[in-house]
Structure 1
Amino acid sequence: MTEDVKALSVTGNDLIEWGHIPGAQFPALLARAEAMTANGETVEDIRSALDADRPKVLPKIPLLPTGAVPFHENIRAETPDEEDNVAKVRETMTALMRTPTVVSGAVMPDACPAGPIGTIPVGGVVAAKNAIHPGMHSADICCSVMMTDLGDVDPKIVLDAAQSVTHFGPGGRRNGTRFTTSLKLLDAFRANPFLNSPKLIRMAQEHMGTQGDGNHFLFVGRSRNTGRTAIITHHGSRGPGAVLYKVGMHVAEKFRKKISPETLKQNAWIPADSDEGVAYWEALQLIRKWTKANHNAIHQATVEAGRLGDIGERFWNEHNFVFKRGDLYYHGKGATPAWDHYASDATGRTLIPLNMSEPVLVVRGTDAQHALGFSPHGAGRNFSRSEHRRRMGDMTPEEQMAAETKGLDVRFHAGGIDASELPSSYKSAASVVAQIKDYGLAEIEDYIDPYGCVMAGDVPPFWLTRKKGRR
């Protein structure tokens, strides 16, 4: 009699005590328990019957021991600032390499920290097994560079035309000034669960033909080999990529809590063979297509605005992305793929910009094993933007710019001079080039010597602008 009374009181708390996880299945389980009670079955009978529906708890995946997976260092320090930078890069990579999915890693000559310890640094490469780590490509997905050979045209004509059509700064283009976005691509976005949101679709239309802010640029120079003028753009996937990153990190966090709670949040992953992993990989490829179209739109608009006719080759490469090679997923954070056919549109050559007063390198990758098949993406930094401003002392941005960019046509499109983007804010370009050669990371085929560039400038953060607007 006592057991029958107890059976009648089977509740959700009993199910939880028996190891069931609360969810939509609970009402059905309780209904089964009630029916079994009505048939005179005992609590133990009910528990045993429902046990088949109890989710099996898998063991949590622990972190790897420190040093179990080493990483390659393709970087050397030649100054006290560089020594401090390399030490910080080494510290964060050592923590990162404990992530259970990681099988190898490398750092490039332009490496610098990009967040809390354990966060992949700029200039970092990580290979993972059956895992896509959104935090390892970061919010600026598919940040990339594209070059178009424009022939024997005066570079000033190109820079004037480019400035008239490009868009820097926060936000997108207003109605009446927007570039056309492929309807076929937008339909593909809507068919993908990671991309099908009104906000992302709207941004995909508004942000086409925009370059953002920070270190993104539009560069005009001349080929040292041919003397022909070239335009080079640098930017990523703008708002659509930022939204995808946010959603991807949310999904990865759910997996982290279930399968590896010891893993740092920034290193959470989506299992590549899961439904979510397949959809996320497809979303990355679609964002890549959007980003390439964005570069193309700006280049073509410049050609039309400048009435340019002698157009040569155009090629591009990304340096914030995930690349699949064999059964591994290679995450490059500010690192350029340096092997042939890394993508169907790869030409074998890639671009490495240094700073606004130095050439953009046209290189051919060497697929060096000690670099996991990557090369640098630029010059990198040895200290933060704020530290650079502090070191300027009493020198004004105008004075600093005049001293560092003499003879160049440097323009800030959306704001005042951003001193943190001047050459002195970056590592020594000569040192980075020397290390590319010394470590055998790429073969330099040409130099695009600078005429000038357009950058966003010192634009206040959007949240500060919005706060002032409210006042």
Structure 2
Amino acid sequence: MTQETPMLYPVWGREQIDDASIAQMDAAVQLPIAVAGALMPDAHVGYGLPIGGVLATEGAVIPYAVGVDIACRMRLSVYDVKGRMIEAHEERLKNALKEQTLFGAGKAFRGRERAEHAVLDEDTWLYTPLLKGLKDKAVGQLGTSGSGNHFVEFGLFEVLQPQNALGLPEGEYAALVSHSGSRGVGYAIADHYSKLAIELHPELDKSVRHLAWLDMDSGYGQEYWRAMDLAGRFAAANHEVIHQRVAKAIGWDVLATVENHHNFAWEEEHGGQSVIVHRKGATPAGKGVLGIIPGSMGDAGYIVEGLGNEASLHSASHGAGRLMSRSQARKTITRSMIKSYLGERRITLMGGDTDEAPHVYKPIDQVMAAQTELVKVIGKYSPRIVRMDGK
């Protein structure tokens, strides 16, 4: 069940992308619902759609093309404090990262530690039995971070453009960056509707069964869409709570913020047609849209302004992209290698594991060089105190 004529799609940074990711994208654009596709330079193999894959569909949404961590996203807070203050207040900042959020699968706040936010009062939690059952999980996990590549970190933010959308003078500031998604809420929604989509499309070949879709005009399609949107608002609230708690704990004022999803689906118009654009590990990069593209625990990230490239479906990479799998990393990378790498860059790591070592990621500067048609860099972020899951 594929399109008769193979669909072509643009690829940025092809020399940095493995053939397996290309094969996954080839299969995705042949789906009968596919309208257009694009592959970002950080691409690597995922379930169904490769990470870094962008897929536009007509009248249908693919839960697995959004991903299991719905609305995984980034947030940057720039403080009214010079960058040198990070080193001067290192212990206080480390304590704030320890005390103001939790890390790991299933971790949740209890009792008075729980945060309040308007997203928890939405009627959408009553829309389906599934969402109703997830409400308590949301209450406990609001303001927490996940495992894997999720982090909250302090670092130096350098404004590179004198005239910029942030309205900040050139210079170096202290900043906080976070990366996480909708936690157990998003996972449960993704799991439920992905399985349902697969059941509804037994005709799909085993190689593309994870790309099973839900029709947007069906009850199930509308259920997923509303649940996905709620997960997106919950993920945004999650970051907001973390940043508010940290700012209060350290007593620094926030000058500017930037945030964006990179695992989500949007209803957009491209080529004069209304389509559903899935960005699985891809940053929205419409004309003038701000976004965050991180490197690794030991490498710089960038604040970018989208150029509205239509061929990319207004998208860019969501990070550097993996060079090796987690299992390969655990066999190859040692903690002493990480310690040496971070030590040379004066970076303190709290938690983390070898599967997230800087060595497992593509060089971020090569990834950025491959997408100058997609985004303009307006700022550079360099990590200094990184908090991840683990001891």
> Structure 1 length as normaliser, TM-score?
0.74
What do residues 163-202 of structure 1 show as CA deviations (whole Å, max 9, x unaligned)? 321111121224235422436634423332274342x112
**d(CA) in 1 for partners of 2:374, 2:296:** 19
User: 1:68 corresponds to which letter in structure 2?
Assistant: P
> Contact (CA 8 Å) 1:185, 1:286: kept in 2 or not?
no
Pair 196,169 (structure 1): closer, same or farther in 2 beyond 3 Å? closer
Rate the CA distance shift 1:126–1:135 in 2: closer, same or farther, 3 A. Answer: same
1:332-381 per-residue CA deviation (whole Å, 9 max, x = no partner) reads: 110001014xxxxxx82110001122222010011212212100000001
Structure 1's unaligned 5+ residue stretches are 1-61, 341-346, 459-471
Q: Secondary structure at the match of 1:73?
A: coil
Match of 1:219 in 2: 153
- In structure 2, the partner of 1:289 is 233
**Alignment counterpart, residue 364 of structure 2, candidates 414, 417, 429:** 429
Pick closer, same or farther for the CA change 1:270–1:110 going to 2, 3 Å: same
Residues 1:133 and 2:62 aligned together = yes
Distance 1:389 1:162 in 2: 26
Specify the code of the residue in structure 1 equivalent to 2:2: L
Aligned mates of 1:88, 1:333 — CA distance in 2: 16
2:375 aligns with 442
Which SS does the other structure have where 1:196 is aligned? helix
Distance 1:120 1:261 in 2: 15
> Residue in 2 aligned with 1:334?
281
State the 1:400 CA deviation.
0.8
Q: Which runs of 5+ in 2 are unaligned?
A: 160-170
Give the letter aligned to residue 236 of structure 2: K
Q: How many angstroms does 1:418 deviate by? A: 0.5
Paired with 2:119 and 2:358, the residues of 1 have a C-alpha distance of 41
Q: What whole-Å deviation, never above 9, does each CA across 1:53-83 have from its counterpart, x for those lacking one?
A: xxxxxxxxx3223x52222111232xxxx4x
Q: Equivalent residue for 1:162?
A: 97
**Which residue is equivalent to 1:123?**
52
Letter aligned with residue 21 of structure 2: V
Determine whether 1:209 maps to 2:143: yes
Q: Hey, what's the Cα distance between the residues in 1 that align with 2:316 and 2:190?
A: 24
1:312 matched to 2:255: yes
> Which one has a larger percent strand, Structure 1 or Structure 2?
2
* Amino acid corresponding to residue 129 of structure 1 in structure 2: E
Is the 8 Å Cα contact of residues 120 and 138 (structure 2) preserved in structure 1?
no
* DSSP-derived class of the 1:277 partner: helix
Q: Is the 8 A contact 2:10 2:311 kept in 1?
A: yes
Structure 1: distance between partners of 2:54 and 2:129: 25
Partner of 2:387: 454
Instruction: Compare 239-248 and 274-283 and name the one that shifted more.
Output: 274-283
Q: Distance in 1 between matches of 2:13 and 2:249?
A: 42
Partner of 2:74: 145
Q: Partner amino acid for 2:381?
A: I
Look up the equivalent residue of 1:405 and give its one-letter code.
Answer: L
* Structure-to-structure mapping, 1:33-432, within 5 angstroms: 62-65=1-4, 68-77=6-15, 82=16, 85-115=17-47, 119-152=48-81, 154-155=85-86, 156=90, 157-176=92-111, 178-182=113-117, 185-193=120-128, 195-198=130-133, 200-225=134-159, 226-257=171-202, 260-262=203-205, 264-308=208-252, 310-326=253-269, 327-340=274-287, 348-392=289-333, 396-397=334-335, 399-406=336-343, 407-413=345-351, 417-432=352-367
Answer whether contact 1:194 1:280 (CA < 8 A) is retained: no
Give the letter for the 2:356 counterpart: E
Stretch deviating more after TM superposition (361-370 or 330-339) = 361-370
Q: Which amino acid aligns with 1:70?
A: L
Q: 1:195 to 1:366 in 2, by over 3 A?
A: farther
Higher relative contact order at CA 8 Å, sep ≥6: structure 1 or structure 2? 2
Q: Distance in 2 between matches of 1:159 and 1:332?
A: 33
AA partner of residue 69 (structure 2): D
Q: What's the CA shift for 1:86?
A: 2.2
Contact in 2 for aligned 1:123/1:335 (Cα 8 Å) = yes
**CA–CA separation in structure 2 for the residues paired with 1:232 and 1:91:** 33
Following the alignment from structure 2 to structure 1, what is the Cα–Cα distance between the partners of residues 119 and 71? 20
Larger Rg: 1
2:166 is matched with which residue? Answer: none
Amino acid at match of 1:210: T
**Conserved in 2, the CA contact under 8 Å of 1:359 and 1:447?**
yes
Q: 1:191 to 1:311 in 2, by over 3 A?
A: same
- State the distance in 2 between where 1:262 and 1:425 align: 32
Given that 2:295 and 2:319 are in contact with CA atoms closer than 8 Å, whether structure 1 keeps it comes out as yes
**Separation of aligned partners in 1, 2:119 and 2:318:** 31
Measure the CA separation in 2 of the matches of 1:88 and 1:249: 22
Q: Report how far residue 315 of structure 1 moved.
A: 2.4
> Could you say if the C-alpha distance between residues 91 and 184 of structure 1 is closer, same or farther in structure 2, counting changes exceeding 3 Å?
closer
Report the Cα distance in structure 2 between the residues aligned to 1:320 and 1:381, rounded to whole angstroms.
16
Report the AA paired with residue 445 of structure 1: I
Q: Letter of the 2:378 partner, please give it.
A: E
CA distance in 1 between partners of 2:61 and 2:113 (Å): 33
SS in 1 for 2:201: helix
Mapped to 2, the partners of 1:373 and 1:195 lie a distance apart of: 33
Distance 1:177 1:362, change over 3 A: same
Deviations 1:185-226 (A, max 9, x none): 34423332274342x112111111111100001121122222
